[in-house]
Chain A
Amino acid sequence: MRQLRIDLSKCDAGRATCQHECESSCVEKVFKLTDPAMAALHIRELADGSGQAVLCDQCGDCVVVCPTEALSRNKLGVVVIDKKVCVGCYMCMGFCEKEIFERNPEWTEPYKCISCGICVKACPHAALEIVDVPEPAYRIL
C-alpha cells in the first residue's frame, strides 16, 4: 500500500527555511480549502525545537470501526472515504490513535490523507516520500 513517510531530520518544523508548503499544498490542491490548519497532514515544532509529524500511515483502524463501510482500502491500499455512504458519526476520528482526521465545519463527512503525494512534491527539503509497504492486518477494536 502507498504510505506517506517523513524524514524529520530533513524537515524544517520551525519554518526557518520553508512555509510548510506540504500543508498549504494539501489543503489547497486536494481539499480546495485555504486554511493550512485544515490540511490532512501536520508538522509541529515541539518546545525543544524538534519536529513532530501527524501523518496517516493507512493502518486501517478507521476501516474497522466505520459502521457504514464508508471507509475502505482502494486498489492501491490507501484508506479512502466514500462521502455518499458516510453518515458523519466521527467514530473514525475518535478511534484514530494518530488523530489524523480533519473536519470542515461546513461538511458533515470528515476527510483524511489519501497518500496522493502532492505534499511530497511541494516539500522544498525532500523530507516527505511515498513508499510502498505491505498492508497491516486489521486489528479488532
Chain B
Amino acid sequence: MSQFVFDPTKVMDIDFTKRTEYLEGLEAIKAAHKVLKEISFTPSLPDKGYNHRSLYVNVGTLEVKEKPVTQQMKDVFLGGRGFGLWHLWNAVKPTTRWNDPENEIIICPGPVSGITQYAGTGKSLVVTLSPQTDIPIDSNVGGYFGPLLKFSGFDALEIQGKSECDLIVFIDGQKGIIRIEEAPEEPVDSHVLAEVLTHMYAENDADRVNISVVCTGAAAEHSLIGMLNFSWWDHRRGCIRLKQAGRGGIGTVFRNKRIRAVVCRGPQVKGDLNNVADYETIAKTGIKYHKEIRENDPYQCMMRRNGTAHIVEIMDAYDLLPTHNFQYGSHPDTHKIDSAYWQSRCTQKTVDGCWYGCSMACAKGADGLVVKTGPYKGHTVTVDGPEYENAAGLGSNCGVFDPDYLLELNFYCDTYGICTITYGTLTAFVMECYQRGILNKERTGGLEMTWGNAEDDLEMMHQMARGEGFGIIAGQGVKKMKEIFIKNGWGDPKLINDIGMENKGLEYSQYMSKESLAQQGGYALTNKGPQHDEAWLIFMDMVNKQIPTFEDKAEALYYFPLFRTWFGLNGFCKLPWNDVVPSNNAQQPEAHKIPEHVQNYVDIFTATTGIKIDKDELIHQSAKVYNFQRIFNIRMGKGLRKDDHAPFRALGPVTTEEYLSRQERYDKQIAEEMKLDPTTMSLEEKMAAHRSWRQGRYEQLTDAVYKRRGWTPNGVPTLERLKELGLDAFPEVVDVVKLHL
C-alpha cells in the first residue's frame, strides 16, 4: 500500500472565510433571556493540574454549589472519565434510567488537559447514563470547553436535575459568575447556536477565543442517539468549529434536561495556566514531538493533510472497510472518498487542531459546502472533517460514495446533534433490512432505503430532526429497531439479530471485525459497548500483524483497553500516541506499544502532577477506573458475560453472499483450522461449520481475556482483583461484586 503524495496544486481553491452567517437575530434572542439564578465564585487556576473543586449545577432546583475534589478521588479516579464515573455512581441508584432527574452529565477535563505544549492535550470527558445502553457511557471530546472550565477554577462540571424550560448555564471564569438563564428564543441546531452564543457571551472580538459552547441539535430531542458538540473559535476562518462527544446518546440526556447550552468563558490561555510541577520537561517533550510530526507525518499517516480519513483506502485494500452494513470489506468506488480526495477537498492553507499545540492537527475542515437539502438548503457551511468513521459509516457502509452528499450527511449529523458513527451503522442496518425485504417503502413511510440513496438517507435524518415518520423509529437505534421489526413479524428474528450491529445497545463503529479475532474482542469485551476508544486493535492485528498468536491477542485485550483508558483519565487525545511514530520505532521492543510515546506520557503526567509514575503504574492507575466501570455496569444490570456477546455479523459471514465473496479464505480456514474437507461440504454446511468455529473461538478468547483481567468466567472482577486495585476501600463496590460471585 503506497502512501499518496500531497500535491498542493490539487487542493480545491475555496474561500475558507466565506459561509452563511446567523447573527441577525442575536440581540432579540439575547433580550429574551431571563436570569433564573446568578451566583459569584472566586476564579482560580489549577495547582499541578487540579483546582481541587468541582462545580455542581442542578438545572431542576437551580442549586449551584462547589464540591471538594478529595485526595481519595485523585488517588483512585485520577480525573477525567474517572471523576465522571465517581460522580455518576454517587448520583444514581441501580434503578435510575437516563431520563430520571438524578441522572447526571459530567464534563471533566483531567489533570493534564489544558497544557499547550504537547499534541492532543485539550480533551474533556463526558459521562452519563446512556439512553441506548442503560449503563454509563463516556466520550472523549476536543474543543476548548474542558481547559477553559479548568482555568476558570473547576476540575469537573456535574449537571443534574431536569428543567421545565429551555436554559443556558453560563460559567464566566473571568468575572467569577455562574448564571442560569432561561433561553426561549435560541436557535436549535449547533452550527447556528454555537455561533450565536459565542458572539453573545464574548465581550469583544478578541474574547471569542475564550468562549466554548456545549450544545446539541434538533435530532437529539427526538432520538436516543443525540450527541454533544463542543466548540472553539477558529479565528483564521472566522467561525466556530465543533468537536463531538458522540457515542451513547449524551445529547439526548442533555435535551431531556432541557439544556440548550452550557457556555464557558475562560481567561486568556497562556502556556503556564495549568501550573505544572515541571514545566521544562513538558516543554522539551512537546518540542521533540512537534519535530517528530514535522519530520515523519508527511511520510507516515499525513494526519496534517488528511486527518483520520487517511485510512479509508488502507482499510479498503485490506478488505476491512465496512461496506453495505459490514457485509463486505471493500468497494470499487472507494477511490471517490479516499484520502487523495479529502486532501484536495479540505482546506490546507490554515491551521487545524482542536486545542492549542496540537501539531497533529487532524481537525480538518471542508469549507464552502453548499447544502442541497433540508432546512439549511442553499446555505454555505464549513463541515468538520470528515473523519474516517464518517467517511466509512455515512459513506461506504451505506453505499454512499458521492463526497458532497457524504459531507452533507456529516454536516447534518453534527448540527442536528446526532452521532455520525451511530447514524452510519443504524442506517446501514436499515438499508440491509430494505435489501432483504424486512423493510419496504410502505414500512418506511415512503423512504426508499436502497444502498447509496443519499437523498432518502438525508430525508430520514430530517425526519429524525423533525420528530416525524420512520426517522423516529430509526432514531431509537439498532437494538430497539431489531425489537420492533421482530415484534412486527417483518423478518426472520435470527437474521435480524445477526445483522444488527450492536452490543449492549450501542452501535458498532466502522471497522470490519469478521476476520480479526482481536477486534471482535476489542468491540464486544468492552465497558461501554463497541467503539474504537478502548481497543482499536484491527490495524495492529490485520495490517501490521503485530499480535499474531491467540495469547498475543488476549494480552492485547488486557493491556490496550487499560492503556487507552488512561488518556481519558488525564484529558489526552489518543491519536498522537500512534498516528505518528518515531523513525526507529519498529526496532524497539514491544514496538506495537510505541514505547517512546508511552514514556512521553509517563513524563508529562509526572511533570504535570509531581506524582512520579512509570509505565506499569500508568496501567495500574487505569485498571482502578476500568474495573470500577465494569462493576458500575453490573450494578446497573449489565456488565456480565451475557452482555459481552457479539452479533454474528461481527464474527463471521451471515449470508451466502458474504461467504461466497471470501470463499477462498473461508474454505482454507475449514481445511486448515477446522481440519475438514470443504470440497465435500455444501455451502450451508460450510457456513454452519464457520459459525460454530468462530463462536467457539470467541468464547475461548472471552475466557482468556477475563482470566487475564482478573475476572471470573462470568466477567465479574474478583475480590482479589479489587484488593490489588484498592477498590475494596469502597464497601458499596464490594457489595455489588459479592452478589455475583
Contact = CB atoms under 8 A, between A and B. Distances in A.
Interface stretch (B248-256, B266-274, B442-450): B266-274
Given A89-B356, A90-B290, A105 B349 contact: no
Contacts of B6: 140
B289 to A, nearest CB: 7
Nearest to B294: A95
A108 B293 contact: no
Contact of B272 (A68, A88, A95, A138): A88
B235 A90 contact: no
Interface string B263-303: 00000011110000001100100111111011000000000
Interface string A83-94: 000111111011
Contact of A89 (B8, B286, B291, B293): B286
Chain B interface extent, by class = 20 to 34
B283 A103 contact: yes
Interface stretch (A46-54, A59-67, A111-119): A59-67
A89 B271 contact: yes
B236 interface: yes
B370 interface: no
A7 B294 CA distance: 29
A141 B294 CA distance: 8
Interface in B70-118: 116-117
B359 A68 contact: no
Contacts of B8: 140
Interface in A94-141: 94-95, 97, 103, 105, 108-109, 138, 140-141
Determine the main DSSP class of A at the interface with B. Answer: loop
Contacts of A138: 349
B117 A90 contact: yes
A86 B236 CA distance: 15
Interface in A31-63: none
A28 interface: no
B49 interface: no
Interface in B1-28: 6, 8, 11
Contact of A64 (B270, B283, B351): B351
Contacts of A108: 270-272, 279
A108 B8 CA distance: 34
A140 B349 contact: yes
B359 A91 contact: yes
B348 interface: yes
A90 B286 contact: yes
B187 interface: no
B357 interface: yes
A90 B357 contact: yes
Nearest to A103: B283
Contacts of A97: 294
Interface residues of A, number: 23
A141 B293 CA distance: 10
A10 to B, nearest CB: 32
Greatest chain B CB density within 10 A among A66, A95, A138 is at: A95
B304 interface: yes
Given A67-B356, A108-B270, A95 B116 contact: no
Contacts of A66: 351
A94 B286 CA distance: 8
B268 to A, nearest CB: 8
B353 interface: yes
B116 A93 contact: no
B117 A67 contact: no
B357 A67 contact: yes
Contacts of A68: 209, 356
Nearest to A99: B291
B551 to A, nearest CB: 39
Contacts of B294: 94-95, 97, 141
Contact of A69 (B235, B279, B290): B235
Interface string B353-390: 10011110000000000000000000000000000000
A87 B236 contact: no
Nearest to A64: B351
Contacts of A105: 279-280, 283
Interface string B107-141: 00000000011000000000000000000000000
Contact of B270 (A87, A90, A95): A87
A69 B356 contact: no
A67 B353 contact: yes
Complex A-B, nearest 9 residue pairs according to Cβ-Cβ distance, in ascending order? A94-B290, A88-B271, A89-B357, A108-B271, A89-B116, A94-B291, A87-B356, A87-B116, A95-B294
Given A88-B283, A108-B272, A140-B6, 13 more contacts: A67-B356, A87-B356, A89-B116, A91-B290, A91-B357, A94-B287, A94-B288, A94-B293, A103-B283, A138-B349, A140-B11, A140-B349, A141-B304
30 contacts: A67-B351, A67-B353, A67-B358, A69-B235, A69-B236, A87-B269, A87-B356, A87-B357, A88-B117, A89-B286, A89-B357, A90-B290, A90-B357, A91-B357, A91-B359, A93-B290, A94-B287, A94-B290, A94-B291, A94-B294, A94-B359, A95-B290, A95-B359, A103-B283, A105-B280, A108-B272, A138-B349, A140-B6, A140-B348, A141-B304
